[in-house]
Amino acid sequence: MRALVATVLTLALAAAVLAAPTVFIEPAALTVDTLDPFEMSIRVDAGTDTLTGFLVEFEFDPGVIELVAAIEGSLFADCGCATLFGWDVFGPGVHACHDVTLGAASYVLCPGELVRLRFLGTGPGTTALSLSAVDLRDMQRLPILPVFTEGAVVTFDPGTGVEEGALGGISIGPGQPNPFRDGTSIGYALPSALAGGVAEVFDISGRLVRRLAVPAGRTSGALYWDGRSETGAALASSVYVLRLSSEGRTAQTTLVKIR
C-alpha cells in the first residue's frame, strides 16, 4: 500500500513538473546594427492550457539598450475578452509588465505572446535580457508553480552609425537623474569645438518634441532638459530619446519622464 501511494505521488509530481509552463524571450539571441527600434517578445509555451493573468519583471543594461514601449501581447490582445495591461518602470533597466482578463469566467488559451517589447540601442555592447520574476495565474486566479524562465542576450553593434566616447569623439548620457520629474542633466562630448552639435528630443513614436541648445565653442559639457516641448508645455510621463549629432556622427540616450 505504501509503495502504491509513493508511486502515485511520484507520478503526480512528475506530471506537475512536465506541465510546468516555460516563459521565454524570443529571439534568444539578437545582434542589432541600426538606430531604428527593434522588438523582442516574451512568450509562454503550452506547459499550461489556460491563463487569466501574468506579471513578468525583466532587467537589462541601460547602457546598451533601453525600453521605449511595452505592447500587450497577442495572447491577451486577441482573446476576445476585456483585459487590463500595464507597464511599470522600477528604475533604469528594471521594468515589469502585467496583464489580466476581466470577468469571472474569462481566460486565454496558451501558448502565445504575453508582451512585445520595443527597444532602442543606447551604446555598443552586449547585455543579458533577464526575466527576474514571473507570476502566472490559472483559471481560479491562483499561482501556477513551478515556472521556468529563459532570458536572452542582445548585442548592440552600430558600426559607424553611432559613435561613442574616444572612438568616434561623440558621446551622450545617461541623464542625471533618470527617471526624472522636473528636469535632467545629460553630459556630452563632441568631436571638435568648431563642429558644434544638434541635440533633439523625440517621443516613442519618433516625433520631434524639443530641440536643446548645444553651447558653441566647447567639446564637452551638459545639456539640460526640463521635460517640456518646444512650446513650453509639460510633456506626458513616457520614454523619450535624446539624439546628439555632429560631423555626420550620432549618439543617443533614453530618458524616462515620470510624474
Looking at residue 243, which CATH number applies to its domain? 2.60.40.4070
Backbone dihedral region of 154: left (phi > 0), alpha (psi from -120 to 50 degrees) or beta? Answer: beta
The predicted structure's pLDDT at residue 164: 36
The predicted structure's pLDDT at residue 114: 97
User: Same structural domain for residues 87 and 130?
Assistant: yes
* Helix (H) or strand (E) segment spanning residue 10: helix 2-18
- Of 105, 133, 156, the residue that ends a domain is 156
C-alpha distances in Å from residue 50, one per residue of 78, 97, 107: 14, 19, 6
- Of 133, 156, 179, the residue that ends a domain is 156
Residue 88 covered by a domain: yes
User: Same structural domain for residues 148 and 175?
Assistant: no
Residue 151 covered by a domain: yes
User: Same structural domain for residues 48 and 98?
Assistant: yes
User: Same structural domain for residues 172 and 239?
Assistant: yes
User: Same structural domain for residues 58 and 143?
Assistant: yes
- Average pLDDT across the chain, whole number: 83
Residue 4 covered by a domain: no
Range with lowest mean pLDDT among 45-49, 75-79, 138-142: 45-49
Q: Residue 56 gets which letter from DSSP?
A: E
User: Same structural domain for residues 48 and 142?
Assistant: yes
Residue 6 covered by a domain: no
CB atoms within 10 A of CB 203: 17
pLDDT tens string 87-104: 998 888 899 999 999 988
Partnered with residue 160 across adjacent β-strands are none
User: Same structural domain for residues 29 and 138?
Assistant: yes
Dist CA 11 CA 29 (whole Å): 35
Residue 130 covered by a domain: yes
User: Same structural domain for residues 226 and 171?
Assistant: yes
The end-to-end CA distance of the chain, in Å, is 64
Query: What average pLDDT does range 227-247 have in this prediction?
Result: 89
Dist CA 222 CA 234 (whole Å): 21
Decide: 239 and 67 in contact? Cβ < 8 Å: yes
User: Same structural domain for residues 178 and 201?
Assistant: yes
Dist CA 106 CA 223 (whole Å): 50
Greater model confidence, 250 or 24: 24
User: Same structural domain for residues 136 and 32?
Assistant: yes
Highest mean pLDDT among 63-67, 164-168, 231-235: 231-235
pTM to 2 decimal places:
0.61
Backbone dihedral region of 84: left (phi > 0), alpha (psi from -120 to 50 degrees) or beta? Answer: beta
Instruction: Print the SS3 string covering 131-179.
Output: EEEEEEECCCCCECCCCEEECEEEEECCCCCECCHHHHCCEEEEEECCC
Looking at residue 32, which CATH number applies to its domain? 2.60.40.680
* Helix (H) or strand (E) segment spanning residue 76: helix 74-77
Strands 148-150 and 22-26: parallel
User: Same structural domain for residues 128 and 189?
Assistant: no
Residue 11 covered by a domain: no
Number of domains in the chain: 2
Answer whether residue 178 shows pLDDT above 70: yes
3-state helix, strand, coil in the chain (%, to 5): 10, 50, 40
Count CA atoms closer than 13 A to 107's CA, side-chain side: 16
Residue 57 covered by a domain: yes
The predicted structure's pLDDT at residue 19: 61
Please state the φ and ψ torsions of residue 252, each to the nearest 5 degrees. Answer: -145, 160
Closest of 169, 180, 162 to residue 32, by C-alpha: 162
Residue 10 covered by a domain: no
- Of 88, 123, 156, the residue that ends a domain is 156
User: Same structural domain for residues 77 and 142?
Assistant: yes
Q: Is 7 exposed, middle or buried (0-12, 13-18, 19+ CB in 10 A)?
A: exposed
- Domain with 205, as residue range(s), is 165-257
Which pLDDT band holds residue 169 (cuts at 50, 70, 90)? low
Query: What average pLDDT does range 158-174 have in this prediction?
Result: 56
